[in-house]
Amino acid sequence: MGTGVLTMNIGLPIGLGLVIGLAPVAVADNLTTMFSLAGKCLAVTAMDAVTDPSLCINKLVSIETTNGRLGFAFTLTRKGDSKPVVISFFGDGAKELHLDKDTAMQPIDRVHFTFQGSTDNLVAAGSCRFSNPYKGIPAKVSCAADSNQGKFIGEFISNGTPPNTSQMR
């Protein structure tokens, strides 16, 4: 991806791993693009333990790294806890599949699980399926992956507003 242009297989930008329907966005080679989508979690599981989805913050973050990896991060907090729990699903963006014009599936090969300030980088097998967040209707993101530490699941529905975009070095 030396050009720094992040596009889907059908020539549209990925955005949230999801930007369907906009012109491609050029970014500098050393930037990571992050998209945050407002809404709520519907389900969360970490290491086979079903968790209360109301512990999720009201945002889902999607990350596009400079090496073409895509990730979806679900963040959970408890009142009084200083360190959040983060479940991130990552895969190779080049392997993204387009199920129809508004739905894509990202194969997942890693789960990053952050708990009590420490992150485990787990080999995993699974997928994230997501819909177009730019249609003005709620978009859904559903991720599930199995690892040697158990099953991880995250399901999120947006409030129908488009994602916010930011870039960082």
The set of residues, in sequence order, having a beta carbon less than 8 Å from that of 82 and lying 6+ positions away, is none
Query: Are the CB atoms for 156 and 141 separated by under 8 Å?
Result: yes
Q: Longest Cα pair distance anywhere in the chain, in angstroms?
A: 45
Domains of the chain: 5-168 (2.40.128)
Quick one: tokens of 132?
A: 């177009």
Q: CA-to-CA distance for 135 and 159, rounded, in angstroms? A: 11
Q: CA-to-CA distance for 110 and 105, rounded, in angstroms? A: 15
- List per-residue pLDDT tens for the chain, 169 residues long: 333 222 222 222 333 333 222 222 333 445 588 999 999 999 999 999 999 999 999 999 999 988 899 999 999 998 888 899 999 999 999 999 999 999 999 999 999 999 988 999 999 999 999 999 999 999 999 999 999 999 999 999 999 999 998 887 7
- Cα dist. 145→56, 112, 156, 162 in Å? 18, 11, 15, 26
Angle at 122 between CA 121 and CA 127, to 5 degrees: 115
pTM (two decimals)? 0.80
